[in-house]
Amino acid sequence: MGIEKDIKAKNFISNFQKAMVNLYFTSKWWNQQTDTIFSKYDIQAQHFNILRILSGNNKQPKAIKEIKEVIMDKGSDVTRLIDKLVKMELVSRELNPDNRREMLTMITLKGFRLCETIVAQLTALIKQTDNLTEKEAIELNRLLDKVRG
């Protein structure tokens, strides 16, 4: 099966265009696969990304600006996403004692456990859909990094 068959297209302007269409199509396919996991917990990929950020680095509290620097979806409304996570008791917020204009966000134990659960399910999904060798995965990463310059 190839991209031509998947999207019923025959003519691409160039192999570069074909690669970009394939990359976009594959990205959307992967999002559909992972969304089935996230939806079980009433969260989106962006919520999980915040949980992952907060669970790393020794679970240290982070200011919203720090989360915005590393979140994958730069267009996300991080404050709104955190509001939902607070409501779900997956993260908590408190005033920064060193800067009273800044809120610090921390992952709760419930949030950390959910993050671990989702990571395990994503790992299983990767193994289930893994058609690449280790060497091919390394090369794919190199090429994707190269595309982004």
Report which DSSP code applies to 41: T
- Say what percent of the chain tops pLDDT 70: 99
Which residue ranges form the domains of the chain, and what is each CATH number?
39-127 (1.10.10.10)
Is the Cβ–Cβ distance between 57 and 66 less than 8 Å? no
Give the residue carrying structure tokens 């020794």. Answer: 58
Mean pLDDT of 114-139: 90
> Model-level pTM?
0.84
Report which DSSP code applies to 131: -
